[in-house]
Amino acid sequence: MRKPQTEDSRPRPATEDGQETAPAHLPTHLPIFPLGNVLLPHGRMKLRIFEARYMDMIASCMQGDRPFGICLIKRGNEVGEAAEPHLVGVEAHLVDWDMQQQGLLAITVSGRRRFRIADYVVTEKNTVEARVDWLSEVDVGVPAEYASMQALLQLAAADKGPEVIAQPYAFDDANWVGHRFTEILPIPPLARLKLLELEDPLLRLSIIFQYLSDHKLLGS
């Protein structure tokens, strides 16, 4: 049994002050899936779900066509008691699911907007429900000084394909470029989170540029 879905993950147009526009009715509460990895805006993540509590959570989101949130685990584990999440996460929308084996649900999600958890509770089903504040994105192009990063990311996208670097591509968008490098660089999950948390997309690019330069990954 397999159910693909379509979605538009392109960065949204910005207002005159540079803030990304968002739908008028964003949810104030999200079910949270604490994980050992970080979902990035406009990125994809594949998950294999076998715990009944999370299968029920995903089924509820599917039935209501609602998103959930993915946060890096701060304390605890993916399996067992509800883990304590880091506060900044990313809204996840289901784009594909497959249940070829009873009791094992494979899903693919697309990352959308960043949020910060204002407060949360652990439910009777041992899942996390959070009240969230949505974080804005500043619409900024990629400065000419980071042209080598754009070129490297274009090569990576051609090599890895859309299964790793999801389309549509936005190589001129500083947020998109920064998030894609955050996604593919061989860095610890906590380092990915720290980059995700940054409000300034140019600061994020600067940090990644320094990393790439230090590891001699950029052309001369």
Question: Number of C-alpha atoms within 13 angstroms, CB side, residue 48?
Answer: 5
Q: What's the pLDDT at 6?
A: 41
**Mean pLDDT lowest among 7-11, 30-34, 72-76:** 7-11
Once rounded to an integer, what is the mean pLDDT over residues 127-156?
96
Residue bearing the bigger pLDDT, 113 or 15: 113
Confidence of residue 103 (pLDDT cuts 50, 70, 90): confident
Contact 126, 55 (CB under 8 A): no
Span 64-73, mean pLDDT? 95
Cα–Cα distance, 97 to 99 (Å, whole number): 7
The H helix count followed by the E strand count for the chain is 5, 7
Q: Is the pLDDT of residue 11 over 70?
A: no
Contact 205, 153 (CB under 8 A): no
Return the pLDDT at 5. Answer: 45
Q: Please report which confidence band the pLDDT of residue 13 belongs to, taking 50, 70 and 90 as the band edges.
A: very low
Which secondary-structure segment (H or E) carries 200? none
Q: Which domains, ranges and CATH numbers included, belong to the chain? A: 2-7+26-134 (2.30.130.40), 144-214 (1.10.4060.10)
